[in-house]
Structures are given as C-alpha cells and as structure tokens.
Structure 1
Amino acid sequence: MDTVPIFSKRYHVDYGDADFYRKLKLSSLFNYFQDIASLHAEKLGLGVEELHEKQGVTWVLVKMLVQMDRFPVLNEEIIIETWPVEPKRLEFERDFFIKAAKGNNILGRASSSWVIMDVESREIRRTELFPANLPAFCKERAIEGRMGKIKANGQLQHVYNKIVGYSDIDINGHLNNSKYIDYITDCFSIEKHSQYTVDTIQVNYSSEALAGDSIVFYKDISGLESGTVYVEGADEAGAKTYFKACITLK
C-alpha cells in the first residue's frame, strides 16, 4: 500500500471537457475530482473494487464545495492535487487544489465529504467500523470552514423534469455526481452562461437517484442581482430531495 498523503495528476482539457465558450465544464471538473480521488484511494488500498470485494461497501460523495479563481481553457494542462483529511464519525473528507501546469499557480480549490455505503443494504457505515491503515493526515485545508446546510431564500421556480436513464448511472447503480452538475447548469440559458461564471458552488447530495426516477428541478434566482442562485432536485411527489446546490456568480 502506498501511504503518500498527497497525490497529484496532470489533466489536459480536451474538446469533450470544454463548453461552448472553450472553458472547462464544471461537470468535467467534478469528473476530474472523482477520477483522482479514486486513483488515490486505490494507492491507499481503499479502491472501489477492493472495498466492494472485501467489505461489500463503496464510496459515495455527499457534499462538495468548489471555489474557482479561473476556469482552465481548451487545450490547457492543469495539475490536480488531493489529500484526505482526518475522518469524522460518519464522513471522510478529501480536499483538492487545481493548479496551472505552467507556473503552478492555484486556479481553484475544493473540499468534499464522502461516506461508506453498504452495497446491499444501501446503509451508511461508521468510519470506526471500517478497517483501513490510513496515511498521516495533512493539516492543511484547501478551504477553511465547514460545509453547512443549503436552503432557498425566495420562491422556487419549476425548470424542467428529467428521467434518469442508462447513460446517467455509474458503477454504484445510481446517478453519478457529475451528472447532477450537468443538470444544474442546464437550469440556466446559454445567454446566462455567457453573462456569468461560477465563483463557488456547493452541492449537498441527499438521496440516491436510480434509473427510472423522475427528478423535478427547481431554481431560486431571487438573489441573482447579488450573485447567488439556488437549485434543487426533488421527486414528483415532493417527498424526497435528491440534492441542493448553492452557486455564487461573478
């Protein structure tokens, strides 16, 4: 087992990773985070396949907070660094830096919280019950402060409905975390995307969305003039919330 506490990987912003404005899509960045977190977990002996085979559990992302100074552009090379933070009772935290390959200056930073879910029962396992030899934890945090609760401040507007399909589902059998980001950004027009760029985004994933589920998307743009918007996804009955997201714009 490799006990290196900080892991890094170089990424190239390809055509499939960029948007209409030739900048890295937010969902592609979330894919990068998922990729490098998985690679580091494998080096620590905590990879998805190994956990599934030996413990019957898997990693599930429950919160992500991203702060961006500048989005990388098409054909730019970046370096993402990641490291785990000392776990809490139910959550493992992992931080990230996004750096320019040229100059090594920080373009953005992120903090995430993950839980261990039993594959069969879909219940959360406590961290102290999880057998693992983890490396020494870094004290540095990419973003100071805790990720709190998210709620709308104004009237929710219905945007659209989405039925979760085959292409949306990942190896855990539920809607992949990066797909939520595509759906969130689809709540706003091309024109709005040309006027604003994301400064920060926090997403709290509340419930699993499975194939065949219908997600109803709502947004609250009452704070748009001050640069804040809110998006959430719920089931058609309004009994279940799949996620809540708060975005600050610039």
Structure 2
Amino acid sequence: MAAGKKHSEHFHVRPSEVDFRGWLSVGCLAGYLQDTAGVHANLLGFGVGDLLRKNMTWMLSRFRLEILRRTDCGEDITVTTWPSGSEKLFTYREFSVTDRQDRLVAKSSTAWLTIEIKPENQAKKILRPQKELEPFYLSERDR
C-alpha cells in the first residue's frame, strides 16, 4: 500500500475510554493520536520497528493538544495526521480530529527526537532527522 502525505484512522469512542461525564478521556485521545501516527510512520517506512532494526527509536519531546469540543461516548471520530517538517534535532507531526460531520473536534502538534539505542551503561545519542523523511512533509499551503 502506498502511503500518502496524510493518513487517517477512524475510532468509535467506547465506554472504557470515557471519564465520569461520558467524555473521551485525554489519555485515550492521546492514544488515538499515537496509534494513528504509528500506523502512518509504518506505512512511510519509519515506524518503531523500522528504527529499532537500525538501533534507533522515536522519543516524544513536545505535545500540544487543543480540544475544541468534548467527544461523547458512542461518537465516531477521525484522526488525521501528517509530518510537517524538521528543524535541528526535531521532527514535527500535526493532527486534526474531526467528527462524523467533518467538524474539527481537536488539533495537536508534536515534536519528536530520533535517539540511538545503546547498551544500558552507555549514553544515548540524539540524531538529526533523516533526509528520507523530507518528501513526506506537508507545507502550510498543503494542509
């Protein structure tokens, strides 16, 4: 399957994922974002498994989440994600969360580091973003 610059996953909010008010918990929403990013990274050839084979992995450095409307139990939502660029040591990824009527429910921005995995007694090294990722970045204009 060819991977596009954007990737979407659909979720149905289950009772085990809501708080006492019946709203999707922030932790579960963050899990949806991470799952969607993970699937997309795998499709692009930069998933955790791909990096582990090179003794590397992703590490989340910054996470910004803006919830515009609470999501209720039983609601269907779509998480869309895309890599948005890199700067110095960081690779950036954006997210939008929409409801069934395609209304924006939440949006998020993340910054990731690629780190080299070393034996326990050695210091880990932060690596620069890989040039191979650049074709997958979406510019502001394309979002």
Same fold at TM > 0.5: yes
Paired residue secondary structure (2:137): coil
Considering only aligned residues, what root-mean-square deviation do their CA atoms show, in Å? Answer: 1.7
Structure of greater relative contact order (alpha carbons < 8 Å, 6+ residues apart): 2
Q: Could you tell me how far apart the structure 2 residues matched to 1:37 and 1:66 are?
A: 15
Q: Pick closer, same or farther for the CA change 1:40–1:27 going to 2, 3 Å.
A: same
Work out the percentage of aligned pairs sharing the same amino acid.
28
Instruction: Check whether the contact 1:4–1:135 (CA below 8 A) recurs between aligned residues.
Output: no
Instruction: Check whether the contact 1:18–1:25 (CA below 8 A) recurs between aligned residues.
Output: yes
Q: Could you tell me how far apart the structure 1 residues matched to 2:40 and 2:136 are?
A: 14
Q: State whether structure 2 residue 11 is matched by structure 1 residue 11.
A: yes
Q: State whether structure 2 residue 35 is matched by structure 1 residue 35.
A: yes
1:73-113 CA distance string (max 9 Å, x none)? 10100001000011112000000001002x11101111000
1:132-153 CA distance string (max 9 Å, x none)? 2543421239xxxxxxxxxxxx
Higher CA-based Rg: 1
Task: State how many pairs are aligned.
Answer: 137
2:113 alignment partner in structure 1:
115
Q: Could you tell me how far apart the structure 2 residues matched to 1:133 and 1:125 are?
A: 14
1:164-214 CA distance string (max 9 Å, x none)? xxxxxxxxxxxxxxxxxxxxxxxxxxxxxxxxxxxxxxxxxxxxxxxxxxx
Q: Could you tell me how far apart the structure 2 residues matched to 1:32 and 1:122 are?
A: 28
Paired residue secondary structure (1:71): coil
> 5+ residue gaps in structure 2?
none
Q: Could you tell me how far apart the structure 1 residues matched to 2:112 and 2:6 are?
A: 17
Instruction: Check whether the contact 1:10–1:78 (CA below 8 A) recurs between aligned residues.
Output: yes
User: Displaced runs of 4+ in structure 1, greater than 2 A?
Assistant: 130-137
Within 5 A, what are the aligned runs for 1:42-81? 42-53=42-53, 55-81=54-80
TM-score, with length taken from structure 2:
0.89
Amino acid at match of 2:32: Y
Amino acid at match of 2:56: V
Paired residue secondary structure (1:95): strand
Q: Could you tell me how far apart the structure 1 residues matched to 2:17 and 2:135 are?
A: 32
- Once the 2 structures are TM-superposed, how far is the Cα of residue 3 of structure 1 from its aligned partner? 4.0
Q: Could you tell me how far apart the structure 2 residues matched to 1:37 and 1:83 are?
A: 8
Within 5 A, what are the aligned runs for 1:1-250? 2-53=2-53, 55-101=54-100, 103-120=101-118, 121-127=123-129, 130=130, 132-140=132-140
TM-score, with length taken from structure 1:
0.52
Q: Could you tell me how far apart the structure 1 residues matched to 2:55 and 2:68 are?
A: 39
